[in-house]
């Protein structure tokens, strides 16, 4: 029962926080709410027995990507941003697409069925620790995706410098 209450709390609060993020006028406030959101996502990962993912969620999303967001937001001219309209003119289109997806989810949600149980049960992850379990799968079975990740990171470095650096 108790884990279900926590799950309900996380689910509701995450939706509320997401709404707060998109409705704030001041983008820096949105970023702060997003920080709270990332912590709740990390909490949800803990309740899925994925402590490594929870830590990575905070280190990468809250600690790295959100700082980047903050820098970008601070680069904007906030004065104009805050004075302007809260939503663009296209907001009815956005809402209707969102509502359509929601209805779609509503009709398909009971068609979901649980897939076969994998070899990693709660007990096994408890015994082995989540980090080890991830490591021993990621660096053996998923070797190729892992190496491709390094190439993607390389592209990210090159892209960042090409975009932001002035040509001399």
Partner 1 sequence: MNPMTPGSYMPTEYFPVLITMVIASAVGFGALFVGNLFRLKRAYREKLMAYESGNPPLEEPRYRFNVKFYIIAMLFVVFDVEAVFLYPWAIVYDKIGLYALIEMLLFIVVLVVGYVYAWKKEAFVWD
Partner 2 sequence: MNIFGFSVPAGYEFIINLVILLIKIGIVVGITMLHVLYATYFERKVIGHMQIRLGPMRTGFHGFLQPVADGLKLFFKEDIIPAQADRTVFKIAPVIFVFAALSSLAVVPFFDGFVIANVNIALLYVLAMSSLGAYGVIMAGWASNSKYSFLGGLRSSAQVISYEVALGLSLVGVMLMAGSLNLSEIVSAQQQHWYGMFLFPQCIGYFVFMVSAFAETNRTPFDLPEAESELVAGYFVEYSGMRFALYYAGEYIGMIVMSSIAVLCYWGGWTLPPFLLKALPFLAVVPGIVWFLLKVYFHIFLYYWVRATVPRYRYDQLMGLGWKVMIPLALANIVVTSVVRYIVP
- Cα separation, 62 vs 42, in Å, equals 10
- Cα separation, 21 vs 150, in Å, equals 32
Place of tokens 């004075």: 83
- Cα separation, 13 vs 11, in Å, equals 6
**Smaller CB distance to partner 2: residue 16 or 56?**
56
Q: Measuring CA to CA, which residue among 62, 49, 65 is closest to residue 126?
A: 49
Q: Which member of 21, 44, 62, 134 binds partner 2 (CB under 8 A)?
A: 62
**Smaller CB distance to partner 2: residue 10 or 57?**
57
- Cα separation, 27 vs 76, in Å, equals 9
Task: Print the binding letters for residues 119-158 with partner 2: x by CB under 8 A, - otherwise.
Answer: ----------xxx---------------------------
Residues 79-138 that bind partner 1 (CB under 8 A): 79, 114, 117, 121-122, 129, 131-132, 134-136, 138
Q: Which member of 12, 48, 103, 104 binds partner 1 (CB under 8 A)?
A: 48
Q: Is 52 in the site for partner 2 (CB under 8 A)?
A: yes
Q: Per 3-state DSSP, what percentage of the chain is helix, strand, and coil (rounded to 5)? A: 80, 0, 20
- Cα separation, 22 vs 33, in Å, equals 10
For partner 1, the binding residues (CB under 8 A) are 2-4, 6-8, 44, 46-49, 51-52, 56, 59-60, 63-65, 67-68, 71-72, 74-75, 77-79, 114, 117, 121-122, 129, 131-132, 134-136, 138-140, 143, 146-147, 149-151, 153-154, 156-158, 160-161, 164-165
């Amino acid at each position: 029962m108790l884990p279900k209450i926590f799950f309900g709390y996380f689910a509701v609060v995450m939706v509320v926080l997401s709404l707060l993020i998109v409705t704030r006028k001041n983008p820096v406030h949105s970023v702060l709410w997003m920080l709270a959101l990332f912590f709740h996502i990390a909490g949800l990962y803990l309740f899925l027995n994925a402590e490594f993912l929870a830590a990575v969620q905070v280190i990468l999303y809250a600690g790295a990507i959100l700082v980047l967001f903050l820098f970008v937001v601070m680069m904007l001219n906030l004065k104009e941003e805050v004075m302007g309209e809260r939503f663009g003119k296209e907001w009815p289109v956005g809402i209707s697409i969102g509502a359509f997806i929601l209805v779609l989810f509503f009709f398909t949600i009971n068609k979901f069925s649980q897939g076969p149980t994998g070899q990693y049960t709660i007990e096994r992850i408890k015994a082995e620790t989540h980090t080890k379990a991830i490591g021993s799968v990621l660096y053996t079975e998923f070797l190729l995706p892992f190496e491709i990740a390094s190439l993607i990171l390389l592209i990210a470095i090159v892209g960042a410098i090409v975009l932001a650096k002035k040509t001399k």
